[in-house]
Amino acid sequence: MTARLTIEELAALMKKGAGLTVDPAAMADRPDAGFDEWGLDSLGLLGIVGELENRQGRPLPADADRCRSPREFLDLVNGSLPAGS
């Protein structure tokens, strides 16, 4: 994972964690579309949060699993990373 979570990495996590194939370019064109429009439910998002917490070795913000869209999730996750990460 790069220092900041990208749309491409989020799409890969959606594939790995929820079995969803999402075109990163399409998600980048519609970042405010709800996760439900991409086929991701709350359990799938919880799996993505867990994967990221394992990779980073620290918890994400408590409300990360309640984000409604890719933009909201990326903003929250990237805003919680320590400076210089």
Would residue 37 count as lying in a domain? yes
Domain contains 8: no
Domain encompassing residue 67: 26-56+63-74
Residue 84 is predicted with a pLDDT of 45
- Residue 35 counted as domain residue: yes
Would you say the pTM of this structure is higher than 0.95? no
Average pLDDT, the chain: 90
CA–CA gap between residue 84 and residue 82 (Å, rounded): 6
Tokens of 56: 């980073």
What gap in Å lies between CA 79 and CA 39, rounded to an integer?
25
Residue 39 has pLDDT above 90, yes or no: yes
Give the count of domains, the chain.
Answer: 1
Furthest C-alpha separation in the chain: 33
Overall size of the chain counted in residues:
85
Q: Tell me: the pLDDT tens digits for 49-82?
A: 999 999 888 899 989 999 999 999 999 999 987 6
Is there a domain that residue 42 lies in? yes
> 19 with 83: CB under 8 angstroms?
no
